[in-house]
Structure 1
Amino acid sequence: MNFDILRIDGVKAKTGIARSTIYLRIEQGLLPKPFSIGGKSVGWLSDEIVRINAARTSGCSNEEIIGLVKKIELERKKFKKII
Protein backbone atom coordinates (compact mmCIF):
# COMPACT_ATOMS: atom_id res chain seq x y z
CA MET A 1 0.00 0.00 0.00
CA ASN A 2 1.15 3.50 -0.84
CA PHE A 3 0.92 5.88 2.11
CA ASP A 4 1.42 9.09 0.09
CA ILE A 5 -0.96 11.74 1.37
CA LEU A 6 -2.88 13.94 -1.03
CA ARG A 7 -4.21 17.35 -0.08
CA ILE A 8 -7.33 18.73 -1.76
CA ASP A 9 -5.44 19.93 -4.86
CA GLY A 10 -3.97 16.46 -5.30
CA VAL A 11 -7.41 14.87 -5.06
CA LYS A 12 -8.73 17.40 -7.58
CA ALA A 13 -5.89 16.52 -9.94
CA LYS A 14 -6.35 12.74 -9.57
CA THR A 15 -10.15 12.80 -9.91
CA GLY A 16 -10.63 15.69 -12.31
CA ILE A 17 -13.47 17.08 -10.20
CA ALA A 18 -13.89 20.39 -8.39
CA ARG A 19 -13.46 20.93 -4.66
CA SER A 20 -17.21 21.39 -4.15
CA THR A 21 -17.90 18.12 -6.01
CA ILE A 22 -15.33 16.30 -3.87
CA TYR A 23 -17.13 17.36 -0.70
CA LEU A 24 -20.53 16.57 -2.24
CA ARG A 25 -19.32 13.05 -3.07
CA ILE A 26 -18.02 12.67 0.48
CA GLU A 27 -21.50 13.55 1.78
CA GLN A 28 -23.00 11.02 -0.67
CA GLY A 29 -20.56 8.33 0.47
CA LEU A 30 -18.87 8.22 -2.94
CA LEU A 31 -15.47 9.37 -1.66
CA PRO A 32 -13.83 8.60 1.68
CA LYS A 33 -13.75 11.30 4.34
CA PRO A 34 -10.42 13.08 4.72
CA PHE A 35 -8.34 12.56 7.85
CA SER A 36 -6.45 15.10 9.93
CA ILE A 37 -2.77 15.51 9.16
CA GLY A 38 -2.25 18.20 11.80
CA GLY A 39 -3.78 21.53 12.70
CA LYS A 40 -6.58 22.34 10.27
CA SER A 41 -5.00 20.31 7.46
CA VAL A 42 -6.63 17.19 6.06
CA GLY A 43 -5.65 14.65 3.45
CA TRP A 44 -6.47 11.38 1.74
CA LEU A 45 -4.23 8.40 1.02
CA SER A 46 -3.31 8.35 -2.65
CA ASP A 47 -4.16 4.64 -2.91
CA GLU A 48 -7.69 5.29 -1.66
CA ILE A 49 -8.33 7.78 -4.45
CA VAL A 50 -6.74 5.44 -7.01
CA ARG A 51 -9.08 2.63 -5.88
CA ILE A 52 -12.14 4.88 -6.26
CA ASN A 53 -10.97 5.95 -9.73
CA ALA A 54 -10.45 2.31 -10.71
CA ALA A 55 -13.98 1.47 -9.55
CA ARG A 56 -15.42 4.37 -11.55
CA THR A 57 -13.52 3.51 -14.72
CA SER A 58 -14.47 -0.16 -14.47
CA GLY A 59 -18.14 0.78 -14.48
CA CYS A 60 -19.05 0.18 -10.84
CA SER A 61 -22.41 1.56 -9.77
CA ASN A 62 -22.73 4.24 -7.11
CA GLU A 63 -23.93 1.56 -4.69
CA GLU A 64 -20.79 -0.50 -5.34
CA ILE A 65 -18.60 2.56 -4.85
CA ILE A 66 -20.38 3.38 -1.58
CA GLY A 67 -19.52 -0.16 -0.46
CA LEU A 68 -15.89 0.37 -1.46
CA VAL A 69 -15.74 3.65 0.46
CA LYS A 70 -17.08 1.91 3.57
CA LYS A 71 -14.42 -0.78 3.15
CA ILE A 72 -11.69 1.85 2.76
CA GLU A 73 -12.79 3.67 5.91
CA LEU A 74 -12.87 0.38 7.84
CA GLU A 75 -9.33 -0.39 6.67
CA ARG A 76 -8.19 2.92 8.17
CA LYS A 77 -9.47 1.79 11.57
CA LYS A 78 -7.44 -1.41 11.24
CA PHE A 79 -4.25 0.67 10.83
CA LYS A 80 -4.84 2.09 14.29
CA LYS A 81 -4.91 -1.40 15.78
CA ILE A 82 -1.63 -2.31 14.06
CA ILE A 83 0.16 0.79 15.33
Structure 2
Amino acid sequence: MFKDCVRINILKGMEQGIYRGNLNVDFVTRIYFAGMTSLKDETIFPRPQFPMLPLMDDYLEYHLRGIATPEGRKILKTIITSNQD
Protein backbone atom coordinates (compact mmCIF):
# COMPACT_ATOMS: atom_id res chain seq x y z
CA MET A 1 0.00 0.00 0.00
CA PHE A 2 2.86 2.39 0.84
CA LYS A 3 4.38 1.84 -2.60
CA ASP A 4 1.03 2.64 -4.22
CA CYS A 5 0.79 5.92 -2.29
CA VAL A 6 4.31 6.89 -3.35
CA ARG A 7 3.56 5.98 -6.97
CA ILE A 8 0.35 8.05 -6.96
CA ASN A 9 2.20 11.00 -5.43
CA ILE A 10 4.91 10.84 -8.09
CA LEU A 11 2.40 10.67 -10.94
CA LYS A 12 0.38 13.55 -9.49
CA GLY A 13 3.51 15.65 -9.00
CA MET A 14 4.56 14.99 -12.59
CA GLU A 15 1.12 16.09 -13.83
CA GLN A 16 1.36 19.26 -11.74
CA GLY A 17 4.82 20.05 -13.07
CA ILE A 18 6.50 19.96 -9.66
CA TYR A 19 8.29 16.65 -10.36
CA ARG A 20 10.39 16.11 -13.47
CA GLY A 21 8.45 14.65 -16.37
CA ASN A 22 11.15 12.20 -17.37
CA LEU A 23 11.13 10.15 -14.16
CA ASN A 24 11.11 6.37 -14.27
CA VAL A 25 8.16 6.07 -11.88
CA ASP A 26 8.73 2.40 -11.01
CA PHE A 27 12.40 3.04 -10.21
CA VAL A 28 11.74 6.17 -8.14
CA THR A 29 8.97 4.40 -6.22
CA ARG A 30 11.17 1.43 -5.41
CA ILE A 31 14.28 3.45 -4.54
CA TYR A 32 12.25 5.67 -2.22
CA PHE A 33 10.71 2.63 -0.53
CA ALA A 34 14.13 0.95 -0.21
CA GLY A 35 15.57 4.08 1.34
CA MET A 36 12.73 4.43 3.82
CA THR A 37 13.18 0.80 4.82
CA SER A 38 16.91 1.27 5.37
CA LEU A 39 16.29 4.21 7.73
CA LYS A 40 15.14 1.64 10.30
CA ASP A 41 18.50 -0.16 10.16
CA GLU A 42 20.35 1.02 13.25
CA THR A 43 23.64 -0.42 12.02
CA ILE A 44 23.50 2.13 9.19
CA PHE A 45 21.78 4.93 11.13
CA PRO A 46 22.51 4.57 14.87
CA ARG A 47 19.72 6.30 16.81
CA PRO A 48 22.00 8.42 19.04
CA GLN A 49 23.54 9.96 15.94
CA PHE A 50 20.41 9.85 13.74
CA PRO A 51 17.13 10.36 15.65
CA MET A 52 14.26 9.01 13.56
CA LEU A 53 12.19 12.17 12.93
CA PRO A 54 15.05 14.38 11.70
CA LEU A 55 16.38 11.40 9.71
CA MET A 56 13.04 10.97 7.95
CA ASP A 57 12.85 14.72 7.25
CA ASP A 58 16.36 14.70 5.80
CA TYR A 59 15.61 11.67 3.62
CA LEU A 60 12.39 13.19 2.30
CA GLU A 61 14.14 16.45 1.43
CA TYR A 62 16.97 14.52 -0.25
CA HIS A 63 14.44 12.54 -2.30
CA LEU A 64 12.31 15.53 -3.29
CA ARG A 65 15.29 17.62 -4.38
CA GLY A 66 16.25 14.79 -6.72
CA ILE A 67 12.89 14.56 -8.47
CA ALA A 68 11.63 18.15 -8.30
CA THR A 69 11.50 20.64 -11.13
CA PRO A 70 12.77 24.18 -10.48
CA GLU A 71 9.18 25.13 -9.61
CA GLY A 72 8.94 22.15 -7.26
CA ARG A 73 12.17 23.18 -5.52
CA LYS A 74 10.74 26.67 -4.95
CA ILE A 75 7.70 25.11 -3.27
CA LEU A 76 9.94 22.80 -1.23
CA LYS A 77 12.07 25.73 -0.09
CA THR A 78 8.94 27.62 1.00
CA ILE A 79 7.71 24.62 2.99
CA ILE A 80 11.09 24.05 4.64
CA THR A 81 11.43 27.72 5.52
CA SER A 82 7.92 27.89 6.99
CA ASN A 83 8.57 24.77 9.12
CA GLN A 84 11.66 26.36 10.65
CA ASP A 85 9.65 29.22 12.18
- Same fold, judged at TM 0.5 (above): no
Q: Could you say which structure has the higher helix fraction?
A: 2
Give the structure-1-normalised TM-score. Answer: 0.42
Q: Could you say which structure has the higher strand fraction?
A: 1
Computing the radius of gyration from Cα coordinates, the structure with the larger value is 2
Give the structure-2-normalised TM-score. Answer: 0.41
